[in-house]
């Protein structure tokens, strides 16, 4: 039985992403935000304009959450409380940056090459004892986040040149 026929209400068929972004819009009072939408299964740069969302960039292959989960399994990190949290804690103790593949194509990103490289070189990296799991966590986190910041920054520049607002402008105006 359809929900609308059981209870007298209008049901808007919004996606989970739209409802997550709408909560952010309400809290920040942004009219035309540029959003870096990151979850276990999604990595997208989305902008809101004229009543609809537009995806300007996204992952070509693997979402960042999936990448972090798989990386944690490769390093045999615990899932308790979460792989991402455990990677972050280990990254804080990392001292050495290890260059990893960096794949930004326009406003799209690719994470699978980073993971494949780590799986391939992990035994060598740890065998030499000059690199640690903490260094790998630090390097992965810095590389992935730099890629996301770059794609979001490109979107911000393009969007502002077309008259869109950014979250920083909206936050300053609403304080």
pLDDT tens digits for 122-141? 888 888 888 899 999 999 99
Distance CA 23, CA 42 (A): 17
Chain-centroid distance, C-alpha 162: 24
Query: Structural domains in the chain?
Result: 64-151 (3.30.420.40)
Helix, strand or coil for residue 155? helix
> Which residues in 135-173 are b (16+ Cβ under 10 Å) and which e?
bbbbbbbebbeebbeebbebbbeebeeeebbbbeebeee
Which of 48-57, 62-71, 121-130 has the highest average model confidence (pLDDT)? 62-71
pTM given for the model: 0.76
Average pLDDT over residues 136-160: 83
């Amino acid at each position: 039985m359809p929900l609308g026929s059981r209870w007298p209400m209008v049901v808007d068929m919004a996606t989970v992403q739209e409802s997550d972004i709408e909560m952010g819009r309400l809290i920040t009072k942004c009219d035309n935000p540029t959003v870096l939408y990151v979850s276990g299964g999604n990595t997208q740069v989305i902008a809101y304009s004229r009543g609809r969302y537009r995806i300007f960039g996204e992952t070509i292959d693997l979402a960042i959450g999936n990448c972090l989960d798989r990386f944690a399994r490769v390093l045999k990190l615990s899932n308790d409380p979460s792989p991402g949290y455990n990677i972050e804690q280990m990254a804080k103790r990392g001292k050495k940056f290890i260059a990893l593949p960096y794949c930004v194509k326009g406003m799209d990103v690719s994470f699978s090459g980073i993971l494949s490289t780590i799986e391939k070189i992990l035994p060598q990296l740890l065998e030499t004892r000059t690199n640690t799991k903490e260094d790998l966590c630090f390097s992965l986190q810095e590389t992935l986040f730099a890629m996301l910041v770059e794609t979001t920054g490109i979107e911000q520049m393009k969007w502002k040149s077309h008259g869109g607002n950014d979250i920083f402008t909206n936050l300053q105006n609403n304080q």
